[in-house]
Amino acid sequence: MPNRLANEDSPYLQQHKDNPVDWYPWCDEAFERARNEQRPIFISIGYSSCHWCHVMEHEVFENEAIAAYLNEHFVSIKVDREERPDLDKYYQEVHQLL
């Protein structure tokens, strides 16, 4: 069953539309759900030609047990860095600060 990425234009997001993870694109609805359900947000940022993004998809995001955990405890957001370089830059900078 496709998730919320099924209607996105991004080829990268389309690659993840059949993951068992209940992905949201970057949108107000995702943040509203996180607030309402008091859940943390899990953000994954990648791009179509990224080797390690494909590895993560296969080894992590297609894993039913991991997907079930993410779906129960987080609101998961998938971001195409080629569509949103501003978000990629911001979270890269935050990562460096940690």
Cβ pair 17, 2 in contact under 8 A? yes
| Number of domains into which the chain is organized | 1
The amino acid at 17: K
- Closest listed residue to residue 12, CA positions, set 88, 89, 94: 88
For residue 1, what pLDDT is reported?
Answer: 65
| Residue 41, domain extent | 4-97
Instruction: Report pTM.
Output: 0.92
Strands 41-46 and 23-24: unpaired
Cβ pair 61, 16 in contact under 8 A? yes
| pLDDT tens series, the chain, 98 aa | 678 999 999 999 999 999 999 999 999 999 999 999 999 999 999 999 999 999 999 999 999 999 999 999 999 999 999 999 999 999 999 999 98
Residue 14: CATH number of its domain: 3.40.30.10
